[in-house]
Amino acid sequence: MYAQGLIGADAATTEDAAFLERFQARIDAEEKIEPNDPMPAGYRKTLIRQIGQHAHSEIVGMLPEGNWITRAPSLRRKAALLAKVQDEGGHGLYLYAAAETLGVTRDQMTEELLSGKAKYSSIFNYPTPTWADIGAIGWLVDGAAIMNQIPLCRCSYGPYARAMIRVCKEESFHQRQGYEIMMTLARGAPAQKDMAQDALNRWWWPSLVMFGPPDSDSVHGDQSMAWKIKRFTNDELRRKFINATVPQAEFIDLTVPDPDLRWNDDTQSYEHGPIDWDEFWRVVKGHGQMNRDRIAARRKAWEDGAWVRDAAVAHGEKRRTRHTAALAAE
């Protein structure tokens, strides 16, 4: 996972018109921008922010799913969940590396996450009280992430686009695996089916808001589209997701919790009921059920691990010193 519609990027830039025009011409020609190429400050800033948010989402996203590794109901599920959570950590690693090509360090980005300055996908501020949440996250959250990320494989910034190609393959595997968990539950005993329906009820709306605010209030969308950091609007991606997911729910006989959901024959698309954007902004601003717990868990891991990281650095320095001394003695 889990790129979300970017929250609050500032694309302000100060270069002269000729520079911006030359840059735009490269973008329009579908050339990839590489780390050492000249680029507008706003382009760099937008990308650092977006890739950073994306990386943090992968890392924070390990927590709600990690919550079920020790309680997974079978050894097969336990192994698959361990592998999935590990994949998400790997995504975080490639993404931090992609952001580092723009001149920030992983430690700086981590500090920004822990201080609350950097955001991560609001979806992870919901809890995972039941096993079915693991199915629902794979199916819906990884599913939404794929919708967001497939276009990012063609993002104008080379390192981000390349990271996304690797990530997308794994995300689609996660999505299928999550759906398979839901299917098994939906076709299981009544208690299992109830668990699956309850999880769909809780994750449906938060998954829809993963695509970000509606196009009518999206402030920064246009510049990101022009720079080909973004290729589709939030509403376009949300529509694609709903169109792909509703038939999947029907196939396993689960009910999408939206009484206003209707198929529109003219647009060949579903229309959904009103989304609670107040709830979205509340969660983004830190008032979701799990916001404090997520950051507290990340902070605890970071602070408790400081002595380990310090030891690794100290040992590396001692080794270099000893090696140099040994060479000098020869």
Partner 1 sequence: MTDQPAFLELLLRLGDDCLVLGHRLSEWCGHAPMLEEDLSMPNMALDLIGQARSIYTRAGEVEGKGRSEDDLAYLRADREYRNLLLVERPNGDFAHTMLRQFYYAAFMEPYWREAVASSDAALAGIAGKAVKEIGYHVRHAGEWVIRLGDGTEESARRMAVAVDALHPYTGELFAVDGVTDAMAAAGVAPDPSALRPEWDATIDTIFADAGLRRPEVAYPQLGGRQGCHGEEFGFLLAELQYMQRAYPAMTW
Quick one: 174 or 220, whose CB is closer to Fe ion?
A: 174
Quick one: 88 or 133, whose CB is closer to Fe ion?
A: 88
Token pair belonging to 176: 């299928």
- Per-residue contact flags (x/-) with partner 1 for residues 258 to 277, judged by CB under 8 A: --------------------
Residue selected from 25, 34, 86, 253 as contacting partner 1 according to rule CB under 8 A: 86
- Please choose, out of 35-43, 208-216, 256-264, 309-317, the segment that lies near partner 1 by the rule CB under 8 A: 309-317
Interface positions, 32-61, toward partner 1 (CB under 8 A) = 59
Quick one: 32 or 106, whose CB is closer to partner 1?
A: 106
CB of 258 to Fe ion, least distance (A): 24
Residues in touch with Fe ion (CB under 5 A): 1, 58, 88, 91, 142, 171, 174
Residue selected from 262, 285, 287, 300 as contacting partner 1 according to rule CB under 8 A: 300
Interface positions, 153-212, toward partner 1 (CB under 8 A) = 181, 184, 188-189, 191-192
Residue selected from 15, 20, 69, 201 as contacting partner 1 according to rule CB under 8 A: 69
Instruction: Report the interface residues with partner 1, using CB under 8 A.
Output: 59, 62-63, 66, 69-79, 82-83, 85-86, 89-90, 92-93, 96, 106, 131, 181, 184, 188-189, 191-192, 297, 300-301, 304-315, 318
